[in-house]
Amino acid sequence: MTAGAPRRIRTVKVRARGEDYRIVQVQGNLFVCSRAHGSCCCGWEEKGRAPDLDTRWAEEWERRKIRSRLHLTFSGCLGPCAAGNNALLHLLGRAIWLAGLNDAALVPVVYDWAEAMLAEGRVLPPPPALAGHVYERFAPAPAGSFVPLVEPEEDTSDGLERLDPVCLMDVEPATARHRAEYGGRLYLFCAPSCRRQFLADPTAFVETEA
């Protein structure tokens, strides 16, 4: 990848509370079952699960600056409690279930795998360290059963002028106080901390095309 025009982040129009919003289309979401969010087994040391991994998951996610591609959610019970600690990586349209994540050393391995799939744009086999942790929880969908829920929009990239590229919040252009120019366009930020992060390394938040 070389420097050039900032890549268009895709957004989709969503209507809520009588207003239209532009929501960034991410490539995936990592759901980590967390005791802090009401899980009944994952994260419970007294039930034989590794405790206190939430911080590790969050720090690794922040460090990699993949927010605009892969969202991280700490969830309550995901269902397969006996196999905890559990996580669900929903990536590139595929639900990838991970069980027995009871070693902090597996956290970067999961992210490395996710980033490799993001870079290639396709689902890849799990790395050896995760081979025994990955399984299919969902029954496969019948061939040809995919039904688009809405008509695709012709251009899903407008509205980006309102988007804080760091936290992905919608920012009102008329009143935005925190701004910066990069790659020939203006970016708005919800707070000075987002602007600082952006200016420290813009390419971490606005990818460029060759």
Interface residues toward ligand FES, by CB under 6 A: 33, 39-42, 77-81, 84, 86
Residue indicated by tokens 């009944």: 40
Assign residue 102 a region: left if phi > 0, alpha if psi is -120 to 50, beta otherwise?
alpha
- C-beta of 74 vs 205, nearer to ligand FES: 74
The one-letter amino acid at 151: E
- C-beta of 27 vs 39, nearer to ligand FES: 39
- C-beta of 83 vs 190, nearer to ligand FES: 83
Instruction: Provide the minimum distance between the beta carbon of 83 and ligand FES in the complex, in angstroms, as a whole number.
Output: 7
What percent of the chain is helix, strand and coil (3-state, nearest 5)? Answer: 25, 25, 50
Alpha carbon distance 68, 206 (integer Å): 9
Instruction: Provide the minimum distance between the beta carbon of 37 and ligand FES in the complex, in angstroms, as a whole number.
Output: 10
Instruction: Provide the minimum distance between the beta carbon of 206 and ligand FES in the complex, in angstroms, as a whole number.
Output: 35
- C-beta of 81 vs 104, nearer to ligand FES: 81
CB atoms within 10 A of CB 78: 20
- C-beta of 78 vs 163, nearer to ligand FES: 78
Instruction: Provide the minimum distance between the beta carbon of 98 and ligand FES in the complex, in angstroms, as a whole number.
Output: 11
Q: List, in sequence order, every beta strand (DSSP E) within 111-159.
A: 134-135
Beta strands 87-91 and 28-33 are antiparallel
Instruction: Provide the minimum distance between the beta carbon of 107 and ligand FES in the complex, in angstroms, as a whole number.
Output: 16
